[in-house]
Amino acid sequence: MKTAKPPGKRSPDGEREFPWSGIIASHVHGSKTRAAERLRATDTVIEAVQRGLPFAELEALRAALDLPLDALAPKLGVSRATLHRRRLEGRLTQAESDRLMRFARLFGQAVAVFNDEAVARDWLKRPQYGLAGAIPLEYAETEMGAREVEALLGRIDYGEYS
């Protein structure tokens, strides 16, 4: 079964420009529109990450989490110098995009569990008993840690707070 490619304008060299603007917002805010649902589709996310997300998506997550770029960059494994280069290039690498999506996915799940972005943001920034006192945003710097944060959010959602 073929998947529909998101529409996108063509750049002067014939390459399709990045058609997934707002992919971070669609994960964080959980909009129910068709466009947002398409942006959350697994095949769409994979293709977007493989191509490298635009730097603007990093800015969108930074704003959603209310963190300075200098605080978010190390969580993504990016130095200040690399961050400056990415801003000039306008695009993140595949690995950086993957880590960015990890944090967007966690924030979106926290928003869904707590039904409030401010509460979710605060929860992600504070030590949690269910993570042995670790701060979820710091714990999620690795994929294994992110899975633990997701599992804790799942337990909270089902009333099994730990």
| Per-residue pLDDT of the chain in tens (162 residues, 90 and over written 9) | 444 444 444 444 444 444 446 777 766 766 666 666 676 677 878 888 999 999 999 999 999 999 999 999 999 999 989 999 999 999 999 999 999 999 999 999 999 999 999 999 999 999 999 999 999 999 999 999 999 999 999 999 998 765
136 assigned to some structural domain: yes
Residue 27's Cβ-count burial label (10 Å; 0-12, 13-18, 19+) is buried
In whole angstroms, how far apart are CA 41 and each of 5, 60, 110, 162?
Answer: 12, 19, 19, 30
13 assigned to some structural domain: no
14 assigned to some structural domain: no
39 is in which domain, residue-wise? Answer: 23-157
The string over 96-124, giving b where at least 16 C-beta atoms fall within 10 Å of a residue's C-beta and e elsewhere, is: bbbbbbbbbbbbbbbbebbeebeebbebb
33 assigned to some structural domain: yes
Q: What are phi and psi of 68, to 5 degrees?
A: -70, 150
pTM of the model: 0.80
Q: How many domains does the chain have?
A: 1
65 assigned to some structural domain: yes
Q: What are phi and psi of 15, to 5 degrees?
A: -70, 145
118 assigned to some structural domain: yes
73 assigned to some structural domain: yes
96 assigned to some structural domain: yes
Are 98 and 107 in contact by the 8 Å Cβ rule? The answer is: no
Q: Which residues are CB-neighbours of 62 under 8 A, at least 6 positions away?
A: 68, 69, 72
Nearest to 79 by CA among 54, 62, 65, 96: 96
